[in-house]
Amino acid sequence: MTTGSLLAADLVIAVLAAAGFLGGGAASAARRRPLALGLAVFALLATLARAVTITALARAGWWFAAEKVLIAGPLSLAAVAVAGPRLPRAPGDIRSVAVALLFAGYAQSSALLVTLLHGYPASAGVGLLALAGVLAATALSWLALGARPSRTVSRVGLGMAAAALVTGTGLVVAPAAAPGVPHDHGYGDARTIGEPTRRFTLTAATATVRAGGRDVAAWAFNAQVPGPELTATVGDVIEVTLRNRDIARGVTLHWHGYDVPNSQDGVPGVTQSAVRPGQEFVYRFRADQVGTYWYHTHSASDVGVRMGLYGVLVVRQAPVTGVDVTVPVHTLAGVALPEPRTEPVEAGVPVRLRLVNTDSTTHRYALAGTPFRVAAIDGSDLRGPTPLVDTALLIPAGGRYDLVFTAPATPVALFVDGRAVHSTGPVSATTAAWPVLDPLTYGASSAAPWSRFDRRFTLVLDRGLDLHGLLPRYAHTVNGAADPDIPPQVVRLGEAVTFTIVNRSQTMHPWHLHGHHVLVLSRNGRPATGSPLWWDSFDVRPGDVWEVAFRADNPGVWANHCHNLAHAEAGMILHLMYS
């Protein structure tokens, strides 16, 4: 069982245990004896089953189990201790066990709320709040049901609840807010880079574009979705003038995967202000990385990118020989882009397909009709890629794969999520059952560039209640906090840095660090054994633990976030800073 399914199973069992005890309590209060006993026994068994799931989660990593061991564990023990012994000798009046069962139900429910609303790291404050809830609810039930040991005991219960509430709230609220991220500090002066040799102008505006045979309202660069493909040769100095005609939420350009000087990174509120309607901003950087990249707005990025403010950036080593096409996949108003296209290619011609996933979720790609190699991922060439046949590729949000092959005499087709997107002729293939490439074991390894690390970070991804903004929200969190309260990762220039990313949530988080490429060290404890992978985007599945590393060689303040852009806007973004 994977850690992801273990997390899900544990959650389901916890819900069943809580519901069983609460239902049993209600049934006994209503004097429905068989039902009450049945539910209570069921809940006891579910509670025992959790001992197994929690132990397994703790073995997979303390991050997955901390609050379950420290808070749910004691509360479950108390639930079993109070409810268990009363059942076999449930006296004539089943109503007398109602409060015990309800107590057990409250204990299970509040532990469940700790997991759902807070998660990792467990803290004494949260534990006390959970306890306060249980005691208060029990005392109130006691009073409401008019059961015997009432007054004094309920008063003591309520008193303890109040004390736990006050202490817990104090502990939870006390932690200081994260140090602020400095703005507009001017790291990396673009003017020193040299005279531009490639100039572009991108004008952002609302537009109506054709997609899937109908007119679709979009936000577009130069009235097209995707925006124009920007190309350069390595060594060029690229200059892009961004204009905003009428995008009220503002626009910027972020060069996804391109490790530009910080001042050119296009993150509003961090490296520049958003470009408002009528304004412009000029970006300039040297094209010193070869490969497939893309650009997109980072202002209101979720809606902005979804509406069409993105395009491809390709930097080549030499002029194109053979066929070289980019396939930026995107979902625009429910229409899958690009539209299917058929173009014959002469046999023997070298072909390079540059696959780009500009959506917020993973896509599945399959190339049918020819063996192929994955030449590069996220712009970095792979070492010793071997030919693949009938193998699917999962590309994370923001990720790019370059596939190369020699055109055969027979047709070839690229499928995205089972839909033929690009072909040289008719191909009928059922790609759904193909195995998926694991890049961590693909290609030839080479010695790691570091033998020791100067700094380590851990990012635990989850969901949780965020009360720090104007309105409470159910945020996507890192180490229990949401943007802007997540402490920045502070590094020194030149350091070798590693960070561990743990996903204890129920959703995929495609991770993306700006300004640096990370080297994948391991996933779920298994070291990467294939070609070195220098990535800027990678999918951290539920239950995954990734270890990645980078060299702190690009000073500035850099966003480090989930590239499911809705998650990023719902809190899952922190910053990497140089001291």
**Which of ligand C2O, Cu ion, none does residue 459 bind (CB under 5 to 8 Å by kind)?**
none
Residues in the chain, total: 579
Helix axes 33-60, 98-113, angle to 10 degrees: 30
| Residue 177 exposed, middle or buried by CB count within 10 Å (0-12, 13-18, 19+) | exposed
Give the DSSP per-residue string, 231-293: EEETTPEEEEEEEESS-TT-B--EEET----GGGS--BTTTB--B-TT-EEEEEEE--S-EEE
> Rounded to the nearest 5 degrees, what angle is found at the Cα of 188, between the Cα atoms of 187 and 192?
150
**Least distance to ligand C2O from the beta carbon of 444, Å?**
29
The Cα–Cα gap between 436 and 463 comes to 29
Instruction: State phi, psi for 328 to the nearest 5 degrees.
Output: -80, 115
Exactly one of 514, 516, 523, 541 binds ligand C2O (CB under 6 A); which one?
514
Q: What does DSSP say about strands 496-503 and 534-535: parallel, antiparallel, or unpaired?
A: unpaired
> Residue 298 Cβ, how far from ligand C2O at the closest point, in Å?
6
Q: Using the rule CB under 6 A, which residue among 243, 354, 516, 561 binds ligand C2O?
A: 561
By 3-state DSSP, what share of the chain in percent is helix, strand and coil, each rounded to 5?
A: 30, 35, 35
We find the least distance from the C-beta atom of residue 249 to ligand C2O, in angstroms, to be 16
- List the one residue out of 487, 491, 484 whose CA is nearest residue 459: 487
Q: How far is the CB of 294 from ligand C2O (least distance, A)?
A: 8
When the beta carbons of 265 and 569 are compared against Cu ion, the nearer one is: 569
512 binds ligand C2O (CB under 6 A): yes
Residues 6 or more apart whose Cβ sits within 8 Å of residue 87: 37, 40, 41, 44, 97
Q: Are 411 and 424 in contact (CB under 8 A)?
A: yes
567 contacts Cu ion (rule: CB under 5 A): yes
The residue range among 90-98, 333-341, 408-416, 563-571 that interacts with Cu ion, by the rule CB under 5 A, is 563-571
Q: Which does 498 bind (CB under 5 to 8 A by kind): ligand C2O, Cu ion, none?
A: none
- The entry of Cu ion, ligand C2O, none near residue 286 (CB within 5 to 8 angstroms by kind) is none
Q: What is the x/- site pattern for ligand C2O, positions 379-408, by CB under 6 A? A: -------------------x----------
- The C-alpha angle 554, 557, 561, rounded to 5 degrees, equals 100
Which CB sits closer to ligand C2O, 298 or 330? 298
Which range in 38-46, 190-198, 539-547, 558-566 contacts ligand C2O by CB under 6 A? 558-566
| Residue 575 binds ligand C2O (CB under 6 A) | no
DSSP code of residue 450 = -
Residue 493 in 3-state DSSP?
coil
**Is 138 a binder of Cu ion (CB under 5 A)?**
no
Q: Both tokens of residue 336?
A: 């899958």
By CB under 6 A, name the one of 118, 330, 563, 575 that touches ligand C2O: 563
509: partner contacted, choices ligand C2O, Cu ion, none (Cβ within 5-8 A by kind) = Cu ion
Burial class (CB in 10 A: 0-12, 13-18, 19+), 278: exposed
Pick one of ligand C2O, Cu ion, none as the site partner of residue 514 (Cβ within 5 to 8 A by kind): ligand C2O
- Least separation in angstroms between residue 401's CB and ligand C2O is 16
According to CB under 5 A, which residues from 478 to 517 bind Cu ion?
509
Q: Is 561 in the site for Cu ion (CB under 5 A)?
A: no
Task: Return d(Cα 558, Cα 552) in angstroms, integer.
Answer: 11
Instruction: Count residues near ligand C2O (CB under 6 A).
Output: 10
Among 231, 299, 423, 564, binds Cu ion (CB under 5 A): 564
Which 439-498 positions form the footprint of ligand C2O (CB under 6 A)?
none
CB of 256 to ligand C2O, least distance (A): 4
Residue 281, strand partner residues: 242
Asked if 517 is part of the footprint of ligand C2O (rule: CB under 6 A), the reply reads: no
Q: Does 562 bind Cu ion (CB under 5 A)?
A: yes
Residues numbered 252 to 271 that lie near ligand C2O (CB under 6 A) are 254, 256
Please give the helix or strand (H or E) that residue 367 lies within, else none.
strand 363-368
Q: Which of 296, 463, 517, 541 binds ligand C2O (CB under 6 A)?
A: 296
- 3-state SS, residue 411: coil
Cβ proximity to Cu ion: between 200 and 511 the closer is 511
306 binds ligand C2O (CB under 6 A): no
Which residue's CB atom is positioned nearest to ligand C2O?
256
- Site for Cu ion, rule CB under 5 A: 509, 562, 564, 567
- Site for ligand C2O, rule CB under 6 A: 254, 256, 296, 298, 398, 512, 514, 559, 561, 563
